[in-house]
Structure 1
Amino acid sequence: MIEGPSTTPAALTRAAENHPDRLAIIDGDCSLTFAQLHEQVEAFASSLIASGVEAGARVAIWSPNTYHWIVAALGTHWAGGVVVPINTRYTGTEAADIIDRVHAAALVVVGDFLGTDRLDRLQESAPELQVPLIVRIPLSGTDQPKPGVTDWDEFFDVGTAASRAEADIRSAAVDAESVSDILFTSGTTGRSKGVLSAHRQLMSVAQSWAENAALTAEDNYLIINPFFHSFGYKAGFVTALLAGATVLPMAVFDVEAVMAIVSEQRISVLPGAPTIYQSILDHPRRADYDMSNLRIAVTGAAPVPVALVERMQSELSFDAVLTAYGQTEAVVATMCRIEDDPVTVSTSSGRATAGFEIRIGEHDEILLRGPNVMLGYLDDPEATAKTIDSDGWLHTGDVGVLDDRGYLDITDRLKDMYISGGFNVYPAEIEAMLLRLPGVYEAAVIGVPDERMGEVGRAYVVLGPGTDLSEEAIVSFCKDKLAGFKAPRSVQFTEALPRNASGKVLKNELREKKS
C-alpha cells in the first residue's frame, strides 16, 4: 500500500528524501535522480516567480513527452501555479483558444518538432494573443532566437536567491484543495471544456492507479501515453513519483524504438492502447529484443480481445494485463486488478477505484460519485450543473452494465463521441467547424471502423445551392483547422440529413449505412 501525500510538492520532497540517488527520469542522454529533479523543479519555480508569475496563475504546456514537461509541470506546482496541458496535435487555432480562455501567465512550448514550429503556428493563427512569458524547449537544435522568447537553459538563469526563497514558501502553501490543473476535453456543445482538479484529486487517483498496478521503486516505466492526457500525466509520471519508480518518456511512438528501450532499459511497466501491444507482437524483429522484464500492462480506449491478453502474457511475459475506465472529469474510475483473468480483462473495465461509487442510471448511463469527481468546468457553471447532479453523481454519457462482482462493462455511448487512435473525438466540434466552410449547408459526423486507428471520422455533408465543393477540399479544410485525429477521413454528400420530428439528426441511420 502506497501512502501518498496530498500535493505534488510534498510528493517530490518525500521522493527526494527517501531515495535521492535513485533515477527519477531517463530521457535519452539526460538522466535525473530524484534529488536532481527536486533541484530542477525548485529552480524552474524560482525563475517563474522572478518572471512575475503569481501564485494561482495558469501555465500552459504545449510540448511532447520529455523530461522538460515533467520539470515544467512540477515546477509550476512548486510556484503555486496551475498546469494547463495542451494537446500536441492541436492546431495553432485550437491552442490559442485554450491559452486565451485560461488567461495563461506563461507558455512552455516546444520549438521545431517533427517539421513544425508550434510557436509560429500559434502566432500565425492568433497574432493578437499576448502571453507574458514564453519558454521554448529546443529539441531539434535548429531553432533560431525569437524576440520575447526565452530558451529552456537560459530560463534557469532568471531565478534569484529571493525568488528561490519565495518558491519554497509557495510550495509549502500548496494544499490539498489548491487547483492543480485544467485539462481540456471536447464536449457535445462543440467547444472544449476545461476540467478543474485539485491536488488531492490528482494525488488520490495517481495513488490508486499505482496501488492497482503494484508499482514499486524497482520499476522502470516507459510512458508512451502523452503527458497532455491524464493517462500520461496523472496515471503516468505522478504515479511514478509516488512509488519512486523511474520514468522513461517517449516523445514519438515508434514500435522498434519501443522494443529497443524495453530491452535496453529493462522496462517493467508499459501502459498504452491495445494497438501498441499488437504492433509489438506482430513485428517481424520482435525476437531480436529481450522483452522478458515486462511485468505490468494497462490498456483501454478500445476493446481488448481475450486472445490479445493471452498473447501479451504468453509471448511478451507480462505478469498482468489490466484495463481501466475513466474520463477527464473523473480520470480513473474503474480498473482491473493484477489477479484478474484474461476473460475479465477483455470483457470489463474493472471495478471501482479511487473512492468512486458507480451506479447505472436512466437509459443505462454510467454514473460516478466520489471525492475525485472534478471540481467543475472552467467558467461554465451551467455545464457543470448538467454534468454533476444535485446528489453529486457525474453523468458520464457512457452506457454500461455492472456484474454481480461490481465489474463494469462499457457497452455503448450516449454521446456521439468516438475514439480515434486512442483519443476521444466529439463530432459536434467537427460539425461546428465544417459549418464555417462556405458552401457547407449542413453536416453530421460519425465514427467508422478503421483497422489502424480503431475509428475515424466520416462527414455527411449537405451543400448549399450552387456550391461545388469536393471531398478533398472539405478534408483539407478540416486538417488545416483541427488536430489530425479529429479531421474526417472521408465525406459523403447527401441531399438531406435524416432527422426526427424535433429536428435532431438521426445518426443511427447514418451509422447503419456507413459501410
Structure 2
Amino acid sequence: MAGTIPAALREAAERYGDNAAYVEHGVSVSFAALLERVRRTAAGYRARGLEPGGRVVVWAPNSVDWVVAALAASYAGGTLVPANSRYTAHEVAEIVDRTQAVLVVVADGFLGRTQVADLRAASDLVSVREIVDLVRLRDVEARDVGDIDVVAAGVSPDDVADILFTSGTTGRPKGAMSAHRQTVGVAEVWGALGGVSAADRYLVVNPFFHSFGYKVGIITGLLTGATLYPVATFDPEETMRLIEAERITVLPGAPTIYTSLLGAPGRADRDLSSLRLAVTGAAVVPVVLIERMREELGVDQVVTAFGMTEAVVVTMCRAGDPAALVATTCGRAIPGMEVRIAEETGELLVRGDHVMLGYLDDPVATAEAIDADGWLHTGDIGTLDEGGNLTITDRLKDMYISGGFNVYPAEVEQALARLDGVADVAVVGVPDERLGEVGRAYVVPAAGAELTETAVVAFARERLANFKAPRQVAFVDALPRNLSGKVLKNELRGLDTPPRSSAATRPPTTKKEA
C-alpha cells in the first residue's frame, strides 16, 4: 500500500495510465493527466511560498479542479484544510487564521456569492500569500516543476496530511488532524470492503470537503482505479440522469440522498439498474430506508457503516451479510480498528489505526476525546451483538427523561419512520411541568401526504410504551442536518414551541439540493 497521498497518486498514474480518473460534464481526465496537472500545480504552490508542513485551505464545491488543488497541496508537502463550500466568509476566515494557511483556493461566485471579496473583508489573512480563484487554477501551474517530485517523495506517512474541521454541532468547530498513513489506510480498507475496482463508475455526491467525499471518494479512487464523477450540488433528477446515462455502479451517500431519490417524481421512468453498491451511514439510519433502497431502487448491495470526522470509518457491513443484519446494524469493526461499549454509560468507544492524531492546537479537547488508553469517546450510545456488529441507539446527549424513564429518540424515530406519509422525522425532549420532559416530533411530510398530529401520536402509541410516544408534533419542510446526515438537534431545540397544527400537507416537490 502507498503510505502517502503523493505515492498513491504516482502509483495510480503508473497502474491505470490513460484510464479515466474523472469525468465531469462529459470531459474525461486520465490518471496520467491528473498526475501531470497536480505536479505543475504543486510546483506553482511552491513558487508562491508553500513549504512542507504549510497549510492550504480549499473552499469550493466538488469538481476536478478541487481534486487537483487538494492533491497538489499534498504533493508539495503541505497539509490540506478543506472548508465547507456553504460556509460564510467569516467562518472560512476563522479556519484560515487558526491554521495559518499560506494559500487559499476559492470558487469565487459559487451560489452567486463574492467569496474572495468577502474573505478579504472578513480578516486581514496575515498568513496568506495568495488567494487563488479555482476558475483560474491553471494559471498557478508552473512550466518547470523543478524538484517537486523530490519534495513529494520526501513526504512521510507520519506527516499530517489533512485537517478536517468538525461540523460544530456542540460548539466551536475543532480541527481533526490525520497523518498520510491514516488517510490512505482508511480509504484502502473502505475500498476493499466495498469491492471497489477499476471497473466501477463512482458518483461522488458527498462533498469533497467532508471525509466521506475526500477520503473514501478521492483517495479510494486513486487506490482502486475507479472512475469518479463529481457532483457539485445534489439534484435528484440530474443524479438519476447520470446514473442512467453513465451506468453508475457505486453511490455512497448520507441517508437524505436516498430518501430524495426514492421520493423523486421521475424515478419510475429511469433505469437505475447499474447500481451495485450503496453505502450509507449516520448516527441512526432508519431500517425502512434500507429496505426501500433494496426493493425500490434495486441496489444489489446496500451497506451500512459508522464513522465520524475523528475516525472516518469505524465499522462497516460486509458483502454477503444477511439483509436483516445490514438493515439493523452498522456492521463490525473494520481492519485496524476496535470498538467497545462503556459499561456505565453505554457510550461507544473506538481505538485503532484510523483514529485522528488529535485536534489542532487544542490539547485539552484532545485529552477529553481520547483517553489515556487511546480510546476515542464518540458520544454515541450503542450495543454490540455476539458477532461484534454495532447498533447505534442514540447520541448520549440526546437522551431525555420523561416521568422518570429514559427515552432514546432514535427508537421513537425508527417507529415513526414507518408511518405512511412520513418522509423524515426527528424527536427531541422538551420541558414539561408534570413529567420533566416529553418528546416533540419534528415531521417532514412526504410529497402530497396529509398527516395530522393526532395520527402521528396515535401511531407511536400503538408501537411504543406511553412514556416514549411524543406528546407534541411539529410539521416542517426539512430537518437541519450536517454533512454526515446527522440531524442538528441543537437547532431544533432552539426553535420556539411550534403551534399544535392539526394537519399538514406537503405539496409535491421536483428538486432538492444537498
Q: Under TM normalisation by the shorter chain, which class is it?
A: 0.7 to 0.9
1:432 — aligned with what?
none
Distance in 1 of aligned mates of 2:95 and 2:336:
30
- What displacement does 1:153 show? 2.4
Matches within 5 A, 1:71-470: 71-127=68-124, 131-138=128-135, 151-156=136-141, 159-161=142-144, 164-186=145-167, 190-301=171-282, 303-361=284-342, 362-415=344-397, 449-451=442-444
The alpha-carbon deviation at position 136 of structure 1 amounts to: 0.5
Please list the CA deviations of residues 43-73 of structure 1 after superposition, one character each: whole Å capped at 9, or x if unmatched: 1101001112111100000000000111111
Following the alignment from structure 1 to structure 2, what is the Cα–Cα distance between the partners of residues 262 and 309?
A: 19
TM-score under structure 1 length normalisation: 0.77
Paired AA for residue 73 in structure 2 = T
Identity %: 49
Equivalent position SS for 2:373: coil
Change (3 A) 1:29 1:320: closer
Aligned residue-pair number? 421
8 Å CA contact 2:291–2:327 kept in 1: the answer is no
Q: Is the 8 A contact 1:205 1:354 kept in 2?
A: no
Contact 1:303/1:346 (8 A) holds in 2: no
Q: Do 1:19 and 1:244's aligned partners in 2 also have CA atoms closer than 8 Å?
A: yes
Give the TM-score of the pair, scaled to structure 2: 0.77
Range 293-302 or range 183-192, more displaced: 183-192
AA at the equivalent of 1:409: T
Whether the aligned pair in 2 keeps the contact of 1:224 and 1:250 (CA below 8 Å) is yes
Is 125-134 or 247-256 further displaced after alignment? 125-134
Structure 1 residue 274, shift from structure 2 partner: 2.0
Secondary structure of 1:49's counterpart equals helix
Shift of 1:339: 1.3
Q: Which amino acid aligns with 2:442?
A: P
Would you say the 8 A contact 1:268–1:293 is kept in 2?
Answer: yes
Change (3 A) 1:351 1:152: same
Structure 2 gaps, min length 5: 400-408, 411-427, 429-438, 447-479, 481-486, 499-514
Task: Please name the residue that 1:473 is paired with.
Answer: none
Q: Structure 1 residues 74 and 22, CA, compared in 2 at 3 Å: closer, same or farther?
A: same
The one-letter code sitting in structure 1 at the alignment partner of 2:137 is W
The CA distance in 1 between the partners of 2:180 and 2:440, in whole Å, is 35
Label 1:257 to 1:447 Cα distance change in 2 as closer, same or farther (>3 A): farther
Tell me the distance in 1 between the aligned counterparts of 2:326 and 2:90: 39
**2: CA distance between counterparts of 1:372 and 1:46?**
30
Which aligned pairs between 1:466-485 and structure 2 lie closer than 5 A?
Answer: none
TM-align CA RMSD: 2.6
Q: What's the CA shift for 1:89? A: 1.6
**Structure 1 residues 488 and 382: CA distance shift in structure 2, 3 A:** closer
Q: Distance in 2 between matches of 1:368 and 1:201?
A: 15
**Would you say the 8 A contact 1:333–1:354 is kept in 2?**
no
Deviation at 1:99, TM superposition (A): 0.5
